[in-house]
Amino acid sequence: MNGMEENTISELRSVVMEKMSSVRGTAHSFEHVERVYEIATFLARNENADLELVQLGAILHDVGRAAGEPHNETGAELTREILKNINYHPEKVEGIAKIVLRHRQSLGQGLETLEEKIVWDADKIDLIGVTGILRAFHWAGSMKIPFEDEVRWCRERETAFYGLLKTETAKKIARMRHEAMIHFLNVLEKELSLSDLLID
């Protein structure tokens, strides 16, 4: 990546951080975006993808969070606007807007390019593992969702993301997270049902 592109990334980082300041402290805050950016960068290098498209797509993928739902649609619109404002290569804008638009497909259907798959994978890796569980409970708390319901959600839906990952590198690096998640949920269920009080 040359100097100009590094400047583009840091410029975008400031713009996105500012736009997402109203969702600070939530499960979908800018810290999540930073983790997705790092995971996506790792995946792009290992999968020989277009690094620039992946990095810009990752930084911008949740920019619509503060603008309203569906945040993939508001985010794709904002992406076009932001990239135009910084005079980014016009011919590359649509590819990045599509990464943002498609990152929210719940089963990852309709993903066309490797770069779209990588940002989708990176976003889902942050939902798998102990981080994913903590994010889920953080969100559930803000929505006043009962504990037991959230455990069930994590067990049924969040663990399933592992099987939906699109790239080999993602499957490889998420394996430990997936195992940790199952273990964590097993322990949690034991504690919540108080079955750990049964001492023989």
The sign one gets for the Cα dihedral 132, 134, 139, 143 is positive
Q: How far is the CB of 112 from Fe ion (least distance, A)?
A: 18
Closer by beta carbon to Fe ion, 62 or else 121 = 62
158 lies in the site for Fe ion, by CB under 5 A? no
Closer by beta carbon to Fe ion, 113 or else 188 = 113
**107 phi and psi, to 5 degrees?**
-105, 5
Q: How far is the CB of 186 from Fe ion (least distance, A)?
A: 27
Closer by beta carbon to Fe ion, 47 or else 62 = 62
Token couple for 110: 């309709």
Q: How far is the CB of 32 from Fe ion (least distance, A)?
A: 6
Closer by beta carbon to Fe ion, 123 or else 158 = 123
Round to whole Å and give the CA distance between 66 and 20: 6
Binding mask 109-148 for Fe ion (x = CB under 5 A): --------------x-------------------------
174, burial (CB in 10 Å: exposed 0-12, middle 13-18, buried 19+)? buried
Closer by beta carbon to Fe ion, 77 or else 189 = 77
Query: What type of residue sits at position 174?
Result: A
Q: How far is the CB of 52 from Fe ion (least distance, A)?
A: 19
Name residue, tokens 């590094």. Answer: 6
| Alpha-carbon distances of 37 from 34, 43, 57, 59, 200, rounded to whole Å | 5, 10, 9, 6, 48
Q: Which of these ranges, 43-51, 59-67, 109-117, 130-138, lies near Fe ion under the rule CB under 5 A? A: 59-67
Question: Out of 47, 52, 62, 115, which residue is the one contacting Fe ion (CB under 5 A)?
Answer: 62
User: What is the Cα 5 distance to its own chain's centre?
Assistant: 22
Note the residues at the interface with Fe ion (CB under 5 A): 62, 123
